[in-house]
Homo-oligomer: A and B are copies of this chain.
């Protein structure tokens, strides 16, 4: 991964702006650079573009008054969006990036529309990781406590018009837009080293295409958008050990190579330990019942964004966890919302359920008794779950292990029931310039997406990875295209 002097390289291909990695961030950078008139080339190590983005839910965290929000009757503002994200992504979100991201969000939404990404102007008004409908808008915890006390709630989960996984359609449109804008793509091409001019300017990359070594010269800049490092066990052990052993939310190519190539040239990294981590836990169940820890105790309002209860569970509580629901609640859940639900334990009484789950005697009884007593009054003084989800639970009951489901059966077979990805990466300016260890931009080097550290504090909300990856990817592409050829 060591940088290679330009003088030692026989150039095979030339362009103005070279983008490394064709996920959402790479597509955004490539499009903008090409639209600005630059000669753009995108390298993708896989046999087709799309990356992890194409396999994702496709949520884009956008707001401030988008067309979809207005059509659904919500009067959102950039300030409310900022206040929500500052709280939900925090503590210690990057306020400079976050401010730009919120202020530019309506324009960013229109950019997706102009690229042909379809958004249905309708709201999926139920808890969920991913709607089973093709609705264009969903809640991502804005209407749950404490966030509903911090900012005026508006749903900001925007998603392309398709049920469940919408990342495919998102990337299909972006890939087509990049091609239309005139950018070329080299597939099966894995960048391994940055090429550096005598004056320290990044001037291209050396890559491997099957067994061939191929050298690229970039006259204006290189944009690294090759993903995070969840697939590299050594980097995880060194920087984000909390993800070791869990499943990987990745297409398998998140090996940190972009971060390592840049670091080998003296680039600074930032918050390498921050991660997203999720349990399978089905929010339709969790909302209607309760989520308890291995001592039968609730630990969060169950109507919060599921990424948040997952994060709290995995990082802050020893497992196991249980989703407890009663028959009335269970029967209420639509068939389509039932994925991943495998009740392992059923019982007529809570005392029987306690025994079956191996909980301390009286522990879950006490939790349910307290919950029910307040639910009668439509209150939850402990965790402030919204009154619409509060109802005394009556037998028969079932307990569902929220660790069962797609992560447990994931390709790594780790079976912890949790999976995640990395949020730390290269330290960048708001224009995607990669900073060196003294904080100065490295000439000619840009990064976006999970190769960079983005808007995130110590938390995560769905849609903010595709969101900040594309938003700052676009800025990086424009900044790279605007550099004078060969300037320092």
Q: Which residues of A contact B (CB under 8 A)?
A: 1-2, 91-92, 237-239, 241-242, 244, 260, 263-264, 266, 268, 270-274, 295, 297, 315-317, 360-363, 366, 370, 381-382, 427, 437-438, 457-458
Contacts and interface: CB of A to CB of B under 8 A. Distances in A.
18 contacts: A1-B437, A92-B244, A238-B268, A238-B270, A238-B427, A239-B270, A239-B272, A241-B457, A241-B458, A242-B458, A263-B437, A264-B437, A272-B272, A295-B382, A297-B297, A316-B316, A316-B317, A366-B366
Nearest to A374: B360
Contacts of A370: 362, 366
Contact of A239 (B266, B271, B360): B271
Contacts of A295: 382
* Residue among A273, A316, A381 with the highest chain B CB neighbour number at 10 A: A273
A256 to B, nearest CB: 11
A273 B244 CA distance: 16
9 A-B pairs with least C-beta separation: A273-B273, A92-B241, A360-B381, A316-B316, A238-B270, A264-B437, A295-B382, A263-B437, A360-B382
A454 to B, nearest CB: 14
* Residue among A2, A317, A360 with the highest chain B CB neighbour number at 10 A: A360
A484 B274 CA distance: 42
Contacts of A382: 295, 360, 363
Given A92-B244, A366-B366, 12 more contacts: A1-B437, A1-B438, A91-B241, A242-B458, A266-B266, A273-B274, A295-B382, A297-B297, A315-B316, A360-B382, A363-B381, A366-B370
Interface of A is mostly: loop
A458 B314 CA distance: 14
A417 to B, nearest CB: 16
A373 to B, nearest CB: 8
B360 A264 contact: no
A363 B380 CA distance: 12
A154 B237 CA distance: 30
Contacts of A241: 91-92, 271, 457-458
Contacts of A362: 370
A294 to B, nearest CB: 10
Contacts of A363: 381-382
Contacts of A427: 238
* Residue among A242, A271, A427 with the highest chain B CB neighbour number at 10 A: A271
Nearest to A383: B295
Nearest to A236: B92
A448 to B, nearest CB: 18
Contacts of A264: 266, 437-438
Contacts of A91: 241, 244
A57 B192 CA distance: 48
A91 B318 CA distance: 12
A2 B381 CA distance: 55
Contacts of A361: 381
Nearest to A379: B360
A263 B238 CA distance: 15
A32 to B, nearest CB: 27
Nearest to A453: B238
A277 to B, nearest CB: 14
Contacts of A381: 360-361, 363
A86 to B, nearest CB: 14
